[in-house]
Structure 1
Amino acid sequence: MDEVIRAAARVRLACFDVDGTLTDGRLGFDTAGRESKSFHVHDGQGLVLLRRFGIKVAFVTARTSTVVEQRAAELRVTEVHTAVPDKLARVQDIAARLGLSMDQVAFMGDDLPDLRVMAHVGLSAAPGDAHPWVAGRVHWRSGARGGAGAAREFCDLLLQAQGHVEGLLADLVRPAGARAGGTA
């Protein structure tokens, strides 16, 4: 686990597959063919916290999905990449554009299309219900299922490893109007 914490402390870009990672993997379609997905609010909060503490967030999915684009917009995630045939190439492009080495990149995914990119990042992660062929090849695995808080657990790991949790919690419980390090 010490190696995972050291890797998590280096992360400056956290990339997430969507279906099966940020969602439970089920795809819903209405009679007009419009897609629906369910996202967990805890995962969304974790992604917002990563951004707050300077960790760039990216969605990288092989599927075309306006639902994913809408969710990303709600969370102010600007790196939204849908219909991606080569996730590794896309993540390498994002990292290069941001001036990051792949050692500073994390990727969370759940199935075979994610394996190649996961083998090339500094920290790979999977939800608790990831396909066994993937789950056995990652650095870290969540106790939660995809779409049910797995991404939040991963975000919390990154925040903890980078020393942000205690300050965040102190700020949240501080009385309104109180300054950090002082009294109101």
Structure 2
Amino acid sequence: MPHPPTPFADVPAAILDRAARVRLACFDVDGTLTDGSLGFDSEGREIKTFHVHDGQGLVLLRKSGITVALVTARKGGIVERRAEDLGVQAHVHVADKRERVESLCASLGIGLDEVAFMGDDLADVGVMRAVGLAVSPADAHACAGDSAHWRTRANGGRGAGRELCDLILHAQGRLAGIHADGRVS
């Protein structure tokens, strides 16, 4: 019986090459790891909804030795809590995302060509144009989509983050083993 095609059989080799070099994966939050909706409770506290599959992907990257950072222009709280739950970095209230990612690269001793960044709107374009692998969710604004090397099939907050995580793990030869074992070794 023939094996089913890999989930990334249609991804161009150039994108897989970029993903194979990733050592730092950064994600904008609103519109990438959430659907972009901003909700508030009766006391004015912000409410965000995250997809469990995206969280699992971030954990798989981290456990595979890839540094993961959430980088958002909005204030923290919920984002910091989600990052803590997943064991990843949170960089909140960031005015210049490219500058922050460059600082992260310097602290890790890596180049921007070893960074993946997922963004969905204008605030992400500068950093997306600088990194080795720029990705946007399927429903990203055109300005971010036009700056991306690759667009996910999934929308923001609906599995787009996991799709990028799986792409990186696949390109680095780790995804099949994770799926076979049900864990990161």
Question: What are structure 2's unaligned runs of at least 5 residues?
Answer: 1-11
Pairing 1:133–2:148 present: no
Q: Partners of 1:68 and 1:135 in 2: how far apart?
A: 24
CA-based RMSD of the aligned residues comes to 1.2
The alignment status of 1:26 with 2:28, answered yes or no, reads no
Amino acid at match of 2:22: V
Residue in structure 2 matched with residue 144 of structure 1 by the alignment: 154
Q: Amino acid of the residue matched to residue 32 of structure 2?
A: T
- Identity across matched positions, percent: 58
Q: Tell me the distance in 2 between the aligned counterparts of 1:27 and 1:54.
A: 32
Query: Counterparts of 1:68 and 1:124 in 2: how far apart (Å)?
Result: 21
Task: Name the counterpart of 2:9.
Answer: none
Using the size of structure 1 for normalisation, the TM-score is 0.92
> Helix, strand or coil for the counterpart of 1:58?
strand
Superposition misfits of 4+ residues, deviation over 3 angstroms:
none
Could you tell me which residue of structure 1 aligns to residue 96 of structure 2?
Answer: 86
Structure 2: distance between partners of 1:158 and 1:108:
12
Confirm whether residue 158 of structure 1 aligns to residue 151 of structure 2.
no
Tell me which of 21, 24, 33 is aligned to 1:13: 24
Match of 2:84 in 1: 73
Q: TM-score, normalised by structure 2?
A: 0.91
- The Cα shift of 1:169 comes to 2.1
Bigger-Rg structure (1/2): 1
Give, in whole Å, the separation in 2 of the partners of 1:124 and 1:172. 28
